[in-house]
Structure 1
Amino acid sequence: MITDPWFYAAAVVAVLITGTSKGGLGGGLGVMAVPILALVIPPVQAAAVMLPILCFMDILSVWHYRGRWDGGHLKVLLPAAVAGIALAAFTFRFIDERFIRLMVALIAILFTLDFWFRPRLSGGRGPDAVSGGFWGALAGFTSFVAHAGGPPVNVYLLSRRLDKTVYVGTSVVFFIVVNYVKLIPYAWLGQFHAGNLLTSLVLLPLGALGIALGVWLHSRIPVRLFYQVCYALLFVTGLKLAWDVAAG
């Protein structure tokens, strides 16, 4: 079990932000968890610790948003995401840890820039098999490597201009399927040893607290203000990880 106090200082922030995002803001900020934890532990271990917590939070989120999602978009996204997970699982052993750290850094930076500069649209659009297949597969791959499936799937879902609650509910269902599928290859790759699982267990209450906070905030705070603060932190974290790779 991890005993480093700096890890738990980072984990409190990472798990609460992830839970709050999953519970009420579409889950996009789940991309912050591995970059934050990767500041104090290897990114591969950070991903392994976070996965059981994410699976637990997914159950709570799906219960709250039950019935409020778009099945058409999920039919396009999920098969592609499973294919992306399979590709990542079979190539994971050949990927250098520095590459993973750099990938996480670039996802954090690019997703922040996308949030800051891409115009927000209104009005609804139906499923798109080509676009959904591409972004779904990329989301499956990046979700497996660093639980960073939020940026790709949000590029697709935001372009569909869904109702806010339907958008969150669709994201929640997407990630409960993706995260539970990931349990199989993570176990196959030996990521669930006792130390990681005990650390995850200790952090589970923070996950429940984050989900409850996200549900409460869903209709009570200016969502854009919350995102602006969190994405600023995400951008700085991404720059720090990229600097670490370059310096190393």
Structure 2
Amino acid sequence: MEISSVIIVGFVVLLIGISKSAFAGALGVFAVPLLMIKFSAIEAIGLMLPLLIIADIMTVKGFWKQWDSALLKSLIPGALIGIVIANLLIDVINAEDLRYIIALICIVFAVKNILFKQIQLHILNNKVGAYIMSTLSGISSTFVHAGGPPLIIYFSAIGLAPTKFVATAAIFFAIMNLVKLIGFISLGFLTTDLVLTALTFIPLAFVGHWLGIKINNKLDKQLFLKVMNYLLLVLGGWLIFTAN
């Protein structure tokens, strides 16, 4: 592998580690476009999955049993349905259109929380909201590895505390990424070479995880939610900017 490719993959691994442990996977949206600087779209998407799973293992271990079990149970069914829908419609749904939809949702929600805090989105603060947003997360994660924004929007809407926010997102995405393995292998997106490449960057994944934990420990609930809202605004712009 060229040194430039090593640098890019290394940076992405650090980014994913920090993202998972500090910001519930929000920064993961930046990863695929960065990898596509040196890899094809299929290779970038394929390489991302084992990198995400490695980070998932570390984050789940770091936040073991600190997640909201009841909330998790309400999220998993929708996520699984979303993954199935995405795999069934992978030749029908335009991934770029999905990026624009996710981007628009991110921007509208972020602007609402930053400028119009008094407006409450009661439609999301219930089991139906959990089902809708987890399904959307499953679909967008399967297509463009952008499952974070819908989940972050839902967790922000219900005011989830930082530790439960990150821990619940960690176990949620760990389960979802393991399920996604089936589709990725059957579609030929995941190769032995890509898996071996991901495994060589495990030491950097530990560093990213450690940095993420340090960042998360310094953020109280209000500051954490404020950071997440601004991240959603940036993510929405990034998804539009990087669309073909």
Shorter-chain TM-score bucket reads: 0.7 to 0.9
Q: How far apart, in 2, do the equivalents of 1:152 and 1:21 lie?
A: 15
Contact 1:76 1:127 survives alignment (8 Å): no
Q: Is 1:21 equivalent to 2:19 in the alignment?
A: yes
The gaps in structure 1 that reach 5 residues or longer are none
Q: How does 1:1-248 map to 2 (within 5 A)?
A: 3-92=1-90, 94=91, 99-100=94-95, 102-103=96-97, 106=100, 109-110=103-104, 113-114=107-108, 116-119=110-113, 128-220=126-218, 232=234, 237-242=238-243, 245=244
Equivalenced residue count is 235
The gaps in structure 2 that reach 5 residues or longer are none
Q: Identical aligned pairs, as a percentage?
A: 29
Contact 1:31 1:108 survives alignment (8 Å): no
Cα 1:201–1:104 change in 2 (3 A) is farther
Cα 1:151–1:131 change in 2 (3 A) is same
Relative to the length of structure 1, the TM-score reads: 0.80
Contact 1:78 1:174 survives alignment (8 Å): yes
Q: Which amino acid aligns with 1:241?
A: T
Deviates more, 1:20-29 or 1:201-210: 201-210
Q: CA deviation at 1:108?
A: 7.5
Q: How far apart, in 2, do the equivalents of 1:227 and 1:11 lie?
A: 27
Q: How far apart, in 2, do the equivalents of 1:153 and 1:230 lie?
A: 11
Q: Which amino acid aligns with 1:86?
A: V
Q: How far apart, in 2, do the equivalents of 1:63 and 1:183 lie?
A: 20
- After TM superposition, where is structure 1 displaced by more than 6 Å over at least 4 residues in a row? none
Contact 1:19 1:207 survives alignment (8 Å): yes
Give the secondary structure class of the aligned counterpart of 2:242: helix
Contact 2:106 2:153 survives alignment (8 Å): no
Relative to the length of structure 2, the TM-score reads: 0.82
Deviates more, 1:169-178 or 1:12-21: 12-21
Q: How far apart, in 2, do the equivalents of 1:15 and 1:104 lie?
A: 25
Q: How far apart, in 1, do the equivalents of 2:40 and 2:164 lie?
A: 35
Contact 2:19 2:26 survives alignment (8 Å): yes
Contact 1:73 1:127 survives alignment (8 Å): no
Q: How far apart, in 2, do the equivalents of 1:206 and 1:239 lie?
A: 29
